[in-house]
Every structure is written in structure tokens, then in C-alpha cells.
């Protein structure tokens, strides 16, 4: 008997749930003893007793059930462990939970519910939330009690951080004391309830790192939005609560954030199925500039500063130069010149700074219903107001927040961040020279100088009537013909931070694409044609001429263009989710595009291509259709982009040929790649390849690494002939896919990539076939399914230049040069 008891005890220690009896709910008449577990309906989480680390003490907790790494996300009796295996969880008829030692009245943990109980039942949800509710009641607001109101050290998707104003308690995560002891210590992440509320990591009452206030898009201290494809965030501020929550966009992704006492940080994790372990994808604090109030008052911290991360704002100097030069910046900076504010004749102004984490909000005043101009005037009238900003930066910005007293804990980001207007005396803010005579004289002198310079410039340009002038005239003629807006070069360079590498979002054969933000807050994508591109102006004019008059929901919108010096810029609407290839070929992002969404994307691309071929004023052949040229908006709607090498035909013209073959090998139809022949059917071929890549999650050339003979098209053809087409399906969509739809799409894709153009369907037929249950003809052998370049292309080294780019081959004819 003693041996048996020892075996049972050992089993408990090594695997808390290995001998457990699983329940799906606990009623008043039931209890959960050590050795039993409560499992969520989908089997994602499990509640039971466990011993952390090397400890033999017993705790009631929740962990992930299906992964091999035992990961606890919540603990009930954190500060009051049970010393043996006698723990029992009981549901009381009063609507409370009680954790006791079996056979005694000793209580280790309990809950208090203020709501009336009627036959209460305890359940564990697939979100990881342990809920006590009245039987038959599913409204979360009616829960008698829930564990999400009392987090441990782990933040789970859909949890809230903030304050329950109605019931007077905080939602915050608190670190374990050690890996063997889950008792809460003073290290926590939660809401600091200032007039402009913000989130901070605290050690007791000491601020260690400010995540900052919510600005409508993100927490001010966390501008990195690179994981918006995985998470969607929600901020709520009303009379009942102030809360921030983040949820995964699909349930199959396992994500968590853990606050750690040892590292004094909060780290975000995603479960990696391939590695069978947790993968970190972000941690706060990030760098030394995240340390609270590192630089003192009226200064900012920037890790890009080579000598000293702390810098005084313009018009301020170190309060203690000696300490400052010794890298002790805690005393901050003071003004070089005093403010003139006296509530009557103030000549103070404001200097705008961009890319900041806003200052500590302890001494702030929030006005959510006034605009930025009203905010400025209100701040200017109050001598204690040192800065102001929009409280909501979405769109053009709205709301007003004002700071009083010293401005502390400001960080300057390399990209992202907010605008802040800091109060300065007139001389520093550029508001001097109010004397009207001086203004008039200065204006006259400026006008004369400008006139002289203009005359010199005109004479110079007339004398230099060369090809650059001709190109500019040609360009302006195109623009005038299309009624396309012209953007100012300074406006575009400012919007892109002078084409900063931090704003680079794409690279194409003829230039680079940058993200930008106009003064009114509108986000844009700027295509900057390469200065060294021999055909740059040709592609530029082509894209302007073609896309300016195209209007379709599945085509990217050209907002305007810009030239100046050697610059040739196209300004597009910004697609927040980037290109489709970044989703399909990314291990994590691809999980977000389940089959229904991919099917809608396929239809969207097909509709856009049909518009180009049949419904636009001119018949347009794209010639470079590929996944990277399909962009996704905020709702994942597809839009075809990059018309730099497109060709326009008259209504009666159906095909053309060229000695200048440009495009991406793997997407080009064989008749175009080899002989320069192109038509609407060559675009259909490219669409067929795209369709296969969306279904399989593989690049057309990716399979070449494993098989020297077949690319994706050839592999799909082989599977089709062997009656095994379902093996082509991306594992990420196998659970969500509708088999008849996927099979039809595979069938249509093979019809699109047939060897001979006359065998391929039109895009009108493609849409009909995709959207109906009509019988389809059997596809013939596809063209171009070898991994090796065709001999006609690879042997003509004097006529073709092959450029490797992102594992694709872009073929550009050099016409014998």
C-alpha cells in the first residue's frame, strides 16, 4: 500500500494531469480534487493542481493542455500553497468558489461574488477564462466571477488591462516571485489612472517603464505595428471601465505575454508548431531609452545618438553640464530663455516635434471634443501649460491633451511616434519679426531676388533645351491629359522622412517603394523610380498614363505624381497589409488566411484582371502579374498594382510582340518569355500560377530545391494526372477549405497555364468557372514547368539580363547592348 501511495505521489509531481479524471463543468453538488482536472470544451486549456519548478507545494492553476511544454497561465492560491495532495475546489450555492484542505475547514483561497446565484456552474472556456455563472446564463456581464478579472503573471488574448470603474478594481498582471514560487510580488503591468490614462510597468509604486497612453492606434510607447496581421487591439473608455485588450485574429494561434520579475520585462510569445516551443516576438523594455525618466526634464532619449542618448530639446541646455558630460542626465535640461507668459500679452509660441513617445501624463488635462487649433489657444492662455498634442492621432488627429510643469520621459523613435508641440519663447519658436515694416521690406527684397533667380533659371533652361526638357514637357503633357494631381517634391520627401530606409516597404525592378504620411495624416505609398534605370521615364510615363484613369475596387489607386531634378515619384494609396506574397509565403501570416479569405482574394484578383482586359477604356495587359504585385488593404481586399510595364491596346487589338521582354520568370507565359509574344492570355497564364501559389502556399520555383525537374506548375500537373490533387493544398487551410471549391480552383489554374494561348480561358470565363458548378474540360499539358531556364532564354546572353530578386527571376532584355 505504501509503495502504491509513493507511485501516485510521484506521478502527481512529474505530471499533474497524467492520472487526472477530466470534467467539463462543476456544479454545486460536485468538487474538484487533486488528481482531477477541468478541461475547456475545445480541449485548449486545463484546470487542475500542479507543483511549479522544483517545488513540492500544490497550487490550483490553468495551463495549456495540448502542447508538450507545461505552461501555466493562471494560479488561484498564489500566496497560499497547499503542502500535500489534499486540496479540493468546491462550488458554493452562494455563487462562490472555495479551495480547502480535504476534511478540514482550512481555506487556502476563495472568491467573493456580489451577484445573486441561481444554480451556479463552473466552466473553463477555450480563451483560458475560468468562469462561474448561473446555469443557462451565457452573457459575460452576468458572470458571478471570472479568472480574467484576476490575472496572474500571464496576459492572454481577449483579457483586459485597465480598471473596472464600476466595481473598483484593476486588471493588471503581476510577476511570480520565482519559477518555483508563483506568489505575487510588486512587479506589475497595469493602468495609471491620470486624466490622460496610461499603462506602465511598476515595481510597487515606482514607475519602471511607461507603455504610454492610448492614442487611437497604439500605446504611445509601443508604435511598432508589425504584428497587426496577427492581433487586433481594442481600447474602451467609458463610465464603466478603461481597458486595453488584444486578441488574435484566428483562434488557432496560441499567444501570451508574461511579466517577469528577474528580467523586469514583459515578453510576448507565439507557439511555434515546427519548433514545438514558445517563440518570443517582442519584449518591453526594448532599449535603454525605455528606462523611466532616464534623461530628466525637457529632454528626449534616442538610441541613434552616437555620443549621448539623452539630448536637450532646442532652446534648452543641461541643468548640470558637468553631470551631463559624465553621462548623468537625471537633472535634465532648463530653458535658455524665459517664457514671456503673463496671461495678457504672451508672445510665446510652440515648436513641433515628431516621432515621439509623449511625456509622462501625471500632470495633464484631457479635452476629447476640441481640435488642435483650439487646444493650442487654450494652452497658450495658461502659463503653466508646457505642451499640447492630439489625444487621438487617427486620420488628421482629434482631441486635445495638455501637459503642465516639467516634461519628462520622452523617447524619440526611428520610425513611428507622435507629434508634440512644446511651448517656447517667441525668439525660439520663430514668431519674432512682428514689425510690419520689416515684414514688408523683407517681402519686397525676397520678391526681387525670386524674380531675378527665376529669369536666370528660365534663360538657363532655354539654353539647355535638351532631352531632359523634352521629357519634362512630355510628362506634363501626360499629366494634363489625365487630370492627375501633382505633388510637391518637398511634401513627398517630408512625408517619407527623406526616403528613410526605415520607411522602405518594397523593392521593384525599376525602383523602391516607401511608406509616407502627409501633413493631414493620410498615409501614402511612394514609388521612387531608380535614377540609374535606363527605361525609368518610359515606365514612369506608362504607369501615369495607364493607371490614372483606371477606377476599380481591385486596382490600387494612384493619388498623384511628382518630378523634380532626377526624381520621378508616383504616389499611391497605402495598403496597410502589404503584398499578398508576404502572407502566403510567411509561416505565421499564412495561418491568418484561411480558405474562405483566400477564395475571396482569388475572386478579387480575377475581377481586377477582367476589368483590365475587357471593361476599361483601353484593353490593358499587365505583363508582370504576380503575388508581390497584389496588395491587401485593411480588410484584406486585393488590389493589383505596378503597371510600369503594362501595355494598352485598342478595342480591336488582341495581341502584340516585343524585343524587350520584361517580367518575372515563373509567372511569364512561355510564348512571351521565349518569343516576346503577349496578349490577354499571357496574363491569364500568370493568374493561373498565382492561383496555384495561393492554394499551395508555395512559390512556383520553391519546389525546385527538392526536385530538379518540376516546379509548382509541373508538380500540380503530376498530382492531377495521378488523381492526387488534394496533396497540393496548403496544410494551413486543410481544416477550413471547402474541398469542391479547392478542386475547382486547381482545375481552373491548370486550364490557365496550358502551353498554348488559344487553349487558355479568358478572364470572363475564369470568373464564370470559379463561381459556378458547370462541368470543366480536361486541362492539357502546361507550359514551362521545368525548373531550369528554357534554352532559348538562357543561351541568349547577349540579349537578356537575368536579375535574381526575392527568389524570383526578373528577365529584362538589353537589346544587344
- Residue 812's pLDDT is what? 39
Q: How high is the pLDDT of residue 83?
A: 92
What confidence score (pLDDT) does residue 446 get?
57
pLDDT, position 547: 72
- Cell numbers representing residue 205 in the block: 509604486
Q: Has residue 706 got a pLDDT over 80? A: no
State pLDDT tens for residues 321-330: 999 988 899 9
Query: Sorting pLDDT into bands at 50, 70 and 90, what band is 642?
Result: confident
| Helix, strand, coil % over all residues of the chain, rounded to 5 | 25, 30, 45
Count Cβ atoms below 10 Å from residue 184 Cβ, excluding itself: 17
Q: How far apart are CA 682 and CA 675, in angstroms?
A: 12
First to last CA, the chain: 92
Residue count of the chain, please give it: 817
pLDDT digits (tens, 9 = 90+) for 98-126: 999 986 778 999 998 888 889 999 999 99
Q: Which residue has the higher pLDDT, 182 or 457?
A: 182
Helical residues (DSSP H) of 258-405, grouped into ranges = 321-325, 372-380
3-state secondary structure of 607: helix
Strand duo 45-50 + 59-64: pairing: antiparallel
**Nearest by Cα to 796 from 772, 781, 812:** 812
Lowest mean pLDDT among 162-171, 199-208, 348-357, 525-534: 525-534
The pLDDT of residue 619 is 79
Q: What percent of the chain stands above pLDDT 90?
A: 52
388 by DSSP, 3-state: which? Answer: strand
> Would you say residue 804 has pLDDT above 80?
no
Residues 6+ apart with CB under 8 A from 594: 250, 732, 733, 736, 737
* Band (15; pLDDT cuts 50, 70, 90): very low
Q: Which pLDDT tens digit goes with each residue over 20-62?
A: 578 889 999 789 999 999 999 999 999 999 999 999 999 999 9
Residue 249 confidence (pLDDT): 78
pLDDT over 80 (residue 455): no
Which grid cell sits at 690?
498565382
Q: Give the orientation angle of helix 595-610 with respect to helix 739-752, to 10 degrees.
A: 30
pLDDT digits (tens, 9 = 90+) for 62-95: 999 999 999 999 999 999 999 999 999 999 999 9
How far is residue 752's CA from residue 669's CA, in Å, rounded to a whole number?
10
CB 406 within 8 A of CB 298: yes
**pLDDT beyond 50 at 182:** yes
Phi and psi dihedrals of 24, rounded to 5? -105, -10
- Residue predicted with more confidence, 431 or 165: 165
Q: Are 319 and 296 in contact (CB under 8 A)?
A: yes
The reported pLDDT for the residue numbered 643 is 79
3-state secondary structure of 754: strand
Tell me which of 10-24, 171-185, 733-747 is least confident. 10-24
CA distances from 633 to 577, 578, 667, 726 (A): 6, 8, 23, 30
> How far apart (Å, rounded) are the C-alpha atoms in residues 354 and 420?
6
Residue 228's pLDDT is 66
pLDDT at 815 over 70: no
* Res. 481: pLDDT tops 60: no
Helix (H, G, I), strand (E, B) or coil at 622: coil
Residues 6+ apart with CB under 8 A from 153: 173, 174, 175, 176, 182, 258, 259, 260
Cα–Cα distance measured from residue 617 to residue 643, given in angstroms and rounded to the nearest whole number: 16
pLDDT tier at 437, thresholds 50, 70, 90: very low
Active site residues: 624
Residue 471 has pLDDT above 90, yes or no: no
H/E/C letters for each residue in 179-240?
A: CCEEEEEEEEEEEECCCCCEEEEEECCEEEEEEECECCCCECCCCCCCCCCCEEEEEEECCC
Enter the C-alpha cell of residue 149. 478579472
Do 269 and 279 touch, CB atoms closer than 8 A?
A: yes
Instruction: Retrieve residue 160's grid coordinates.
Output: 483586459
Name the band, by pLDDT with cuts 50, 70 and 90, for residue 534.
very low
Q: How confident is the model at residue 251 (pLDDT cuts 50, 70, 90)?
A: confident
Q: Cα 189 from chain centroid?
A: 23
Share of the chain above pLDDT 70, in %: 80
Domain 1-150 CATH assignment equals 2.90.10.10: yes
Q: 319-345: string of b/e by CB count within 10 Å (b at 16+)?
A: bbeeebeeeebebbbebeeebebeeee
Is the predicted pLDDT of residue 176 greater than 90, yes or no?
Answer: yes
Per the model's pLDDT, the better-predicted residue between 251 and 802 turns out to be 251
Which range is least confidently modeled, 179-183, 392-396, 457-461, 736-740?
457-461
| pLDDT for residue 552 | 87
Q: Which of 516-525, 705-714, 743-752 has the lowest mean pLDDT?
A: 705-714
pTM here is 0.61
The runs of H, that is alpha helices, within 293-435 are 321-325, 372-380, 426-429
For 193-198, what is the mean pLDDT? 94
Q: Which among 720, 715, 713, 701 has a CA at the least distance from the CA of 787?
A: 701
DSSP 270-298: EEETTTTEEEEEEEES-SGGGSTTSS-TT
pLDDT tens digit sequence for 719-734: 999 999 999 999 999 8
Q: Which residue has the higher pLDDT, 709 or 736?
A: 736
State pLDDT tens for residues 281-298. 788 888 899 999 999 999
The closest alpha carbon to 769, from 738, 739, 734, 741, belongs to 741
Which pairs with CB-CB distance under 8 Å and at least 24 residues apart come from 171-180?
A: 171/243, 173/257, 173/259, 173/266, 174/259, 175/259, 175/260, 175/261, 176/52, 176/78, 176/152, 176/261, 177/261, 178/53, 178/261, 178/262, 179/52, 179/53, 180/52, 180/53, 180/54, 180/55
Q: Which CATH architecture has domain 467-573?
A: 2-Layer Sandwich (3.30)
Which of 1.10.10.1590, 3.40.50.300, 1.10.510.10, 3.30.360.10 is the CATH number of 581-813? 1.10.510.10
Average pLDDT, the chain: 82
- Whether residue 605 contacts residue 598, with contact meaning beta carbons closer than 8 Å, is answered with no
Spatial CB neighbours of 390, under 8 Å, sequence gap ≥ 6: 215, 372, 375, 397, 398, 399, 400, 401, 418, 419
Residue 61 near residue 76 (C-beta atoms within 8 A) = yes
* Secondary structure (H, E, C), 451-518: HHHHHHHHHHHHHCCCHHHHHHHHHHHHHHHHCCCECCHHHHHHHCCCCCHHHEEEEECCEEEEEEEC
> Comparing 42-56, 113-127, 340-354, 433-447, which segment has the lowest mean pLDDT?
433-447
Closest CA to 96 of 77, 114, 73: 114
Are 366 and 195 in contact by the 8 Å Cβ rule? The answer is: yes
pLDDT at 9 over 90: no
Dihedral sign computed on CA atoms, order 371, 373, 374, 375:
positive
Q: 366-425, pLDDT tens digit by residue?
A: 999 999 999 999 999 898 999 999 999 988 889 999 999 999 999 999 778 899 999 999
Question: What span, in angstroms and rounded, lies between the C-alpha atoms of 216 and 694?
Answer: 34
Domain-wise residue ranges, the chain: 1-150, 162-286, 290-429, 467-573, 581-813
Which set of grid coordinates corresponds to residue 755?
A: 502551353
Rounded mean pLDDT, 501-514 = 81
Torsion sign (Cα): 135, 140, 141, 144:
positive
Amino acid at each position: 500500500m505504501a509503495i502504491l501511495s509513493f507511485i501516485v505521489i510521484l506521478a502527481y509531481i512529474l505530471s499533474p494531469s497524467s492520472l487526472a479524471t477530466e470534467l467539463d463543468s462543476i456544479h454545486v453538488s460536485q468538487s474538484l480534487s487533486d488528481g482531477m482536472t477541468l478541461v475547456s470544451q475545445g480541449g485548449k486549456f486545463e484546470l487542475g493542481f500542479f507543483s511549479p519548478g522544483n517545488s513540492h507545494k500544490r497550487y490550483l492553476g490553468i495551463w495549456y493542455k495540448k502542447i508538450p511544454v507545461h505552461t501555466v497561465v493562471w494560479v488561484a492560491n498564489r500566496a497560499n500553497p497547499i503542502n500535500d495532495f489534499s486540496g479540493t475546489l468546491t462550488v458554493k450555492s452562494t455563487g462562490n468558489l472555495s479551495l480547502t484542505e480535504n476534511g478540514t475547514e482550512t481555506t487556502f483561497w476563495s472568491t467573493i461574488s456580489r451577484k445573486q446565484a441561481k444554480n451556479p456552474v463552473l466552466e473553463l472556456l477555450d480563451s483560458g477564462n475560468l468562469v462561474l455563472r448561473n446555469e443557462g446564463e451565457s452573457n459575460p456581464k452576468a458572470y458571478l466571477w471570472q479568472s480574467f478579472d484576476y490575472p496572474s503573471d500571464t496576459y492572454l488574448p481577449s483579457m483586459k488591462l485597465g480598471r473596472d470603474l464600476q466595481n473598483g478594481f484593476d486588471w493588471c498582471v503581476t510577476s511570480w516571485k520565482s519559477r518555483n514560487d508563483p506568489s505575487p510580488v510588486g512587479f506589475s503591468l497595469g493602468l495609471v489612472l491620470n486624466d490622460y490614462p496610461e499603462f506602465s510597468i511598476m515595481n510597487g509604486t515606482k514607475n519602471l517603464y511607461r507603455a504610454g497612453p492610448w492614442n487611437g492606434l497604439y500605446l504611445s510607447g509601443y508604435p511598432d505595428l508589425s504584428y497587426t496581421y496577427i492581433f487586433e487591439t481594442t481600447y474602451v473608455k467609458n463610465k464603466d471601465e478603461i481597458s486595453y485588450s488584444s486578441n488574435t485574429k484566428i483562434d488557432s494561434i496560441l499567444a501570451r505575454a508574461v511579466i517577469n520579475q528577474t528580467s523586469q520585462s514583459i515578453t510576448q510569445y507565439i507557439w511555434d508548431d515546427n519548433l514545438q516551443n514558445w517563440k518570443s516576438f517582442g519584449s518591453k523594455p526594448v532599449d535603454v531609452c525605455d528606462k523611466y525618466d532616464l534623461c530628466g526634464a525637457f529632454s528626449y532619449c534616442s538610441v541613434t545618438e552616437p555620443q549621448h542618448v539623452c539630448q536637450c530639446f532646442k532652446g534648452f541646455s543641461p541643468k548640470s553640464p558637468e553631470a551631463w558630460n559624465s553621462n548623468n542626465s537625471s537633472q535634465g535640461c532648463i530653458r535658455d530663455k524665459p517664457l514671456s507668459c503673463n496671461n495678457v500679452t504672451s508672445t510665446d509660441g510652440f515648436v513641433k516635434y515628431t516621432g515621439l513617445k509623449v511625456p509622462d501624463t501625471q500632470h495633464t488635462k484631457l479635452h476629447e471634443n476640441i481640435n488642435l487649433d483650439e487646444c493650442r489657444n487654450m494652452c497658450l492662455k495658461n502659463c503653466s501649460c508646457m505642451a499640447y498634442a492630439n489625444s487621438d492621432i487617427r486620420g488628421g488627429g482629434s482631441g486635445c491633451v495638455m501637459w503642465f510643469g516639467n516634461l519628462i520621459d520622452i523617447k524619440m523613435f526611428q520610425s513611428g511616434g507622435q507629434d508634440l508641440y512644446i511651448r517656447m519663447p517667441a525668439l525660439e519658436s520663430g514668431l519674432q519679426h512682428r514689425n510690419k515694416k520689416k515684414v514688408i521690406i523683407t517681402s519686397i527684397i525676397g520678391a526681387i531676388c525670386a524674380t531675378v533667380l527665376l529669369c536666370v533659371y528660365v534663360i538657363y533652361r532655354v539654353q539647355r533645351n535638351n532631352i531632359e526638357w523634352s521629357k519634362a514637357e512630355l510628362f506634363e503633357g501626360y499629366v494634363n491629359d489625365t487630370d492627375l494631381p501633382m505633388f510637391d517634391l518637398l511634401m513627398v520627401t517630408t512625408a517619407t522622412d527623406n526616403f528613410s530606409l526605415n520607411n522602405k516597404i518594397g523593392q521593384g525592378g525599376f525602383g523602391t517603394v516607401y511608406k509616407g504620411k502627409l501633413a493631414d495624416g493620410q498615409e501614402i505609398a511612394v514609388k521612387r523610380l531608380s535614377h540609374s534605370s535606363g527605361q525609368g521615364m518610359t515606365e514612369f510615363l506608362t504607369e501615369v498614363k495607364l493607371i490614372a484613369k483606371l477606377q476599380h475596387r481591385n486596382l490600387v489607386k494612384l493619388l498623384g505624381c511628382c518630378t523634380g531634378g532626377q526624381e520621378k515619384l508616383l504616389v499611391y494609396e497605402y495598403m496597410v497589409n502589404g503584398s499578398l506574397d508576404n502572407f502566403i509565403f510567411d509561416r505565421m501570416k499564412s495561418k491568418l488566411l484561411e480558405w474562405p479569405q483566400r477564395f475571396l482574394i482569388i475572386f478579387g484578383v480575377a475581377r481586377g484582371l477582367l476589368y483590365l482586359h475587357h471593361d476599361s477604356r483601353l484593353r490593358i495587359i499587365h505583363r508582370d502579374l504576380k503575388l508581390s504585385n497584389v496588395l491587401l488593404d485593411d480588410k484584406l481586399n486585393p488590389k493589383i498594382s505596378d503597371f510600369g510595364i503594362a501595355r494598352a491596346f485598342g478595342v480591336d487589338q488582341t495581341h502584340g510582340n516585343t524585343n524587350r521582354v520584361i517580367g518575372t520568370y515563373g509567372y511569364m507565359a512561355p510564348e512571351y518569355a521565349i518569343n516576346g509574344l503577349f496578349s490577354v492570355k499571357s496574363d491569364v497564364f500568370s493568374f493561373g500560377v498565382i492561383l496555384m501559389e495561393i492554394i499551395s502556399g508555395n512559390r512556383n520555383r520553391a519546389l525546385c530545391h527538392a526536385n530538379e525537374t518540376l516546379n509548382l506548375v509541373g508538380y500540380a500537373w503530376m498530382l492531377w494526372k495521378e488523381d492526387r490533387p488534394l496533396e497540393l493544398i496548403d496544410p494551413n487551410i486543410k481544416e477550413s477549405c471547402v474541398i469542391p471549391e479547392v478542386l475547382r480552383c486547381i482545375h481552373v489554374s491548370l486550364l490557365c497555364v496550358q502551353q498554348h494561348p488559344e487553349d487558355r480561358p479568358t478572364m470572363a470565363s475564369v470568373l464564370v468557372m470559379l463561381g459556378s458548378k458547370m462541368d470543366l474540360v480536361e486541362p492539357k499539358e502546361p507550359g514551362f514547368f521545368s525548373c531550369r531556364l528554357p534554352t532559348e532564354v538562357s543561351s541568349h546572353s547577349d540579349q537578356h539580363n537575368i536579375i535574381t530578386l526575392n527568389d524570383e527571376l526578373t528577365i529584362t532584355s538589353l537589346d544587344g547592348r
